Amino acid sequence: MKTTGFLILAVFYAVYIGKMILQKRKGIQTDQMAKGKQKTKLYYVELTMKTATYSVVAAEVFSLLFAPGYLPRALVAVGVALGVIGDILFIVSVVTMKDSWRAGIAENDKTEIITGGIYGISRNPAFLAFDCVYAGLLLIAFNWILLAFTVFAMTMLHLQILQEETFLSKTFGAEYNVYKSKVRRYLGRKS
């Protein structure tokens, strides 16, 4: 199962890095986390999120290599399913966003609001994908240290979502607010 965990991790970050490379060739700076910003709350949330996302990957790799894993096979299988769902969700999210996809808030970039496709049932499918992959790898290679890193990273992702929602509301105004009133933050449409 640990090999499967590494495969889940490899697919996820191959998509992430691959998208960054493709956008860089078009002159787009994808990684906007804590770059070029004044030292405000946004800067510190993004800096902490960047630290969290890098450190959780290190904890995942360490856990997959060296931790024995303590959970029953059924929970490990749930972890594999979550990881695969996360990979698929991330691929669909990044493809749907086209060149509007960024890591962090791009205050000076002109992007489009994306409300179709997967974004019609989740305002944050890429973040949901991160959460699925993190939770899946936690179940595959469970240990208490990985649990702490996973909870930290997922908390920081949520705080980033809150920052992005404020930014999107200011940037796109009524269009974003109508979208927000129809589609849930993580999954589902509002009635």
Distance CA 160, CA 127 (A): 9
Percent of the chain residues past pLDDT 70, beyond the cut: 99
3-state secondary structure of 120: helix
The gap between the terminal CA atoms of the chain, to the nearest Å, is: 40
Contacts (Cβ under 8 Å, ≥6 apart) of 118: 89, 92, 93, 96, 125
CA distances from 135 to 15, 56, 184 (A): 19, 11, 20
Query: How many CA atoms are closer than 13 Å to the CA of 76, on its beta-carbon side?
Result: 16
Q: In this structure, what DSSP letter does residue 98 have?
A: G
User: Would the pTM count as exceeding 0.85?
Assistant: yes
Q: What is the mean pLDDT of the chain?
A: 91
pLDDT tens digits, one per residue of 88-142:
999 999 999 988 878 877 777 778 899 999 999 999 999 999 999 999 999 999 9
3-state secondary structure of 26: coil
